[in-house]
Structure 1
Amino acid sequence: MRGKAVIAGVGHTRFGKLEGRTPLSMIVEAVAMAVGDAGIDKEAIDAVMVKFPTSKPEFMFGQQVAEALGIQPKVGGVWDQGGAANIGLISQAALAIEAGLCEIAVVCFADNPKSGSRHNYSRPHGADAIHGWYGTPAGYAMIARRHMADFGTTREQLGAVAIAARRHGAANPNAQLRRPLDLDTYLASPAIVTPLHRDDCALVSDGGAAVIVMSAERARKLQVRAPVPILGFGQGNTSWSVAQRPVLTTTQAVVSGAKAFEMAGLTPKDIDVAQIYDCFTITVPMTLEDYGFCRKGEGGAFVSGGRIEIGGALPINTSGGLLSETGMPGLQLVIEGVRQMRGEANLQVPHAKTCIVSNQGGVMTTHATLILSQ
C-alpha cells in the first residue's frame, strides 16, 4: 500500500466556541473546503466516512452526513474508535479504494462540546465511579502517575510538552488558544486530577475538519494540485479498561507504529516532523517511546530541552495540537501533517520530507498511525 493512496484535499472550520453551529453544518463547511482544496467536483466523491460526534452520538449519523452533503455513496458510515477513528477511517478509505469499492473518499468529523454538551467527557466510568473516577482525566492521571513512579518522569518534563504546543499555537492564527506558556505558569496552574494540571489537558472545542482520499493514479489524472502520499498506516487497540491492564505504561501504539513503519519502509530516524495526539501531556512521551523514537522510560527526557519545539531535533504538533490549536480529536493533526509535506504550514519545518501522525481514543484505548511524505 506504500504510496498507492494520497490525501488530495483538506479543510476545516474555525476552532473554539461556535455558537449555533451543529456538527452537520460544520462537516458540510469543512468538506466544501476540502473539495475546493483538491480541485475536484463533489459529485466525484463516492465514499463518505465519518467519525461520529462524541458529545452527541446519533444513530445512522453517517447517512445524515451523506444527505447533508448531497451524496449517495457506495461506501459510507460511522467508525467508532474515539480519537483514533480519523486515521482509522483514512486507512479504511485507502483499502476500499485499492479493493475497487470506491474511487474518492471523504473522511470527516465535527463536534460542538464547547457550545453544546460535554457530558460524555465528564461522565462517571462504570463501577469505578464509586472510587471517584469521573471524567476522562482520571484515567490519564493514573497512567501518568505510574509512568512517574516507574521511570522518574517529572512534571517539568510534561511541562515541556505543553510549552512546545503553546509556543506553536501562539504563532498559529487559526489556533483557539494563542497564549504562550512558561514553566513557572505551567507548574502553578490548578490541579485537575493529580498529577495532571490545567495546562496538561486538551482544550474543549467546537469545530469540523475533512480530508479527501484517492489513489495516486487518480490524483495524477485529475491533476490534483498538491497530493500528499500515504506511505504507511497501522492500528492497535489496547481495548481493556485501565483497571484491567497488566501494564499501564505501554499501549498498542507499539503495534500500530510498527505496522506503519513496516509499510512505509522507514524507521523513526527517517521522520522529520511529528503530529502526536496530545489530549494530555503524558500521551506524547509515551507515544514516542512506543513508536521507538526512544527507549521505554526515556520519553520525558526526549521531549525536554526544546527538542520537540520548532527548530528542535523533532518538531512536534507544529500548529499547536490539542493543547493549543483545538481539542477536537485528531483530524487537525492529519491536516497539519499534510501542510508540512506541502511546504505550506504556518510554522514550516525546513526540508521536511516525512511526517508521522498519531491518533488515539478513550484512555489510550485505541491507537492509529499514519506516515505521510512529499
Structure 2
Amino acid sequence: MGARSGTLKDAAAIVGIGQTRFAKHLPETEKALACRAVLAALADAGLHPSQVDAFASYTMEETDEVELAKAVGAGDATFFSRVGYGGGGSCATVAHLAAAIATGQASVGVAWRSRKRGSGPRPWTDTRTQLAVPAQWTRPYGLLRPVDEIGMLARRYMHQYGATRDHFFQVALACRNRANQNPAALMYDRPLTREMYMTARWISEPLCLYDNCLETDGALACVVVSAERARDCRQRPVYVHSAAQGLPAQHHGMVNYWTEDPLTGPAWTAARNLWKGADLGPEDVDVAQIYDAFTALIPLSLEGYGFCGRGEGAAFTEGGALEIGGLLPINTSGGGLSEAYVHGFNLITEGVRQLRGTSTAQVHGAATCLVTAGEGVPTSALLLRN
C-alpha cells in the first residue's frame, strides 16, 4: 500500500499501542503515566525509543514533547504538534503524524494522552477562571460545565426529534455491556440495568449519572509509521485510510448558538472530508468507536457520519443496533462511559485492537473501524482498516 497523490490513503499505519491501568486515583504523576504508555506502545511495535522523531498530543496535555522525549530517550525530533479542543483533538493527533510521515517530515511518530482527572480538581464551577469567550456569556448564568451545555443540546434533540431517555439508555447500556467484557475497564464488574439508569440522580437534566463519562487517571499512546515500514514491525499494521478535522462556519461552543441548526455540529464537517478522502462509506464500517463523553452525543454523531438520516440517530439505537451483532457495534472496550475517559484516546487503541482481532469484545471479521473525537467541539475522525 502507498500514498495516492494528494491523499493520506493508507500511507501510514498504527503499529503499536500502549496504556497504563485505569483507576480513580493512581500514585504516579501524569508525566510518569505518559512515559509508561509511550514505552509500552513502542515495545508493542518492536521499536526503540531512540527511533522516535515525531510527537503529537493535545494542547491540554501537561507533559510536553520536550520532557517526554528526554524521559523516554527519543532521538532528534523533526515534527511535533498539539491539537486543541480537548476530546475533539484525539483523532487529529494520529492524523497529524500520518501527514508528517506521508510527506517525509518524520519516520516514527508517537501520539499520547495522559490525565489524572480522577484525582484532580473539578474546575468547572469556578466562574472566575472560566470566563473566556464564548463562555463569558453563559457560565455566569448557569452553564458551568460541559454537561450543562450538552444537556441543552439533548433537550433540544428530544423536543425536535422525539428522542427519549430510553434511547440514551441504549447507548449507556451498549457501552457498559462491552466494559463488562473488558478486564481493564473501570466498569468491568458493574452491570447496568434500566432501573438503575432511570432512577439515577440527575447531573444536568435530562442527563443523569449514567449519561456522563467517567473521571479517570490513566494514559494511552500509539505509534505511527509509514505503510512500508509497518510491514517490518512486530504487530499487524492498522492503516490510516482516511482522516479529517472539522470546524463548522460560525461555530460557537458546545451549544452552537449562532447557527440555524445547533444539532448539526462539527461531526458533519469532519465527515464530509473523511468520506471524500476514502474509498469506503458508512455502509462499509464494521465497527465504530464513537466519542461518548455524554450519551446524547452518540445519536448526533450517528447522523453526522452518515449512518442514518437527520433526526434518526435516536431511533437507530433501538433493537440492540449498537451491540455486538447489531447494525453498528460501538465502543467495544466500554468507551468513555464505561472503560475510561482519557479524552477519547482509548477509542483509538480499541479501534486498533478490533482490526488486529484482539479486542475483548471482538466483532467477527472486522476490517474497517471508524473512530471519532468529541462532537460539539472542533473535532476529528479516523477511518482505520487492516
User: Deviation digits for residues 53-109 of structure 1, max 9, x if unmatched?
Assistant: 46xx57xx2322222222241112432231122211111111111111111100011
TM-score, normalising length from structure 1?
A: 0.94
Equivalent residue of 2:87, what SS?
Answer: coil
- Residue 148 (1) aligns with residue 158 (2): yes
1:132 to 120, 130, 142: 142
RMSD after superposition:
1.6
- Check conservation: 2:214, 2:340, Cα contact below 8 A: yes
Equivalent residue of 1:117, what SS?
Answer: coil
2:345 to 326, 331, 341: 331
Counterpart residue number, 2:58: 51
Change over 3 Å in CA distance of 1:122–1:330 after alignment to 2: farther
1:31 to 14, 38, 42: 38
Counterpart residue number, 2:228: 217
**Match of 2:380, as an amino acid?**
A
Equivalent residue of 1:316, what SS?
Answer: coil
Counterpart residue number, 2:239: 229
**TM-aligned CA deviation for residue 223 of structure 1:** 3.7
**Match of 2:96, as an amino acid?**
Q
d(CA) in 1 for partners of 2:349 and 2:126?
A: 28
d(CA) in 2 for partners of 1:121 and 1:262?
A: 41
d(CA) in 1 for partners of 2:300 and 2:96?
A: 26
**Which piece of structure 1 moves more, 121-130 or 271-280?**
121-130
Counterpart residue number, 1:263: 277
Equivalent residue of 2:319, what SS?
Answer: coil
**TM-aligned CA deviation for residue 52 of structure 1:** 4.2
d(CA) in 1 for partners of 2:56 and 2:206?
A: 37
**TM-aligned CA deviation for residue 136 of structure 1:** 1.3
TM-score, normalising length from structure 2?
A: 0.91
- Check conservation: 1:7, 1:213, Cα contact below 8 A: yes
- Check conservation: 2:60, 2:84, Cα contact below 8 A: no
User: Deviation digits for residues 262-306 of structure 1, max 9, x if unmatched?
Assistant: 222111111110000000001111000011100011101101111
Equivalent residue of 1:264, what SS?
Answer: coil
Counterpart residue number, 2:14: 7
- Residue 367 (1) aligns with residue 369 (2): no
**Structure 2 runs not aligned, ≥5 long:** 1-7
Aligned ranges 1:105-124 → 2 under 5 Å: 105-119=109-123, 124=130
Aligned ranges 1:1-374 → 2 under 5 Å: 1-53=8-60, 57=62, 61-71=64-74, 72-119=76-123, 124=130, 125-178=135-188, 179-220=190-231, 222-238=232-248, 239-241=251-253, 242=255, 243-360=257-374, 364-374=376-386
User: Deviation digits for residues 126-158 of structure 1, max 9, x if unmatched?
Assistant: 231232111111100000011011101111011
**Structure 1 runs not aligned, ≥5 long:** none
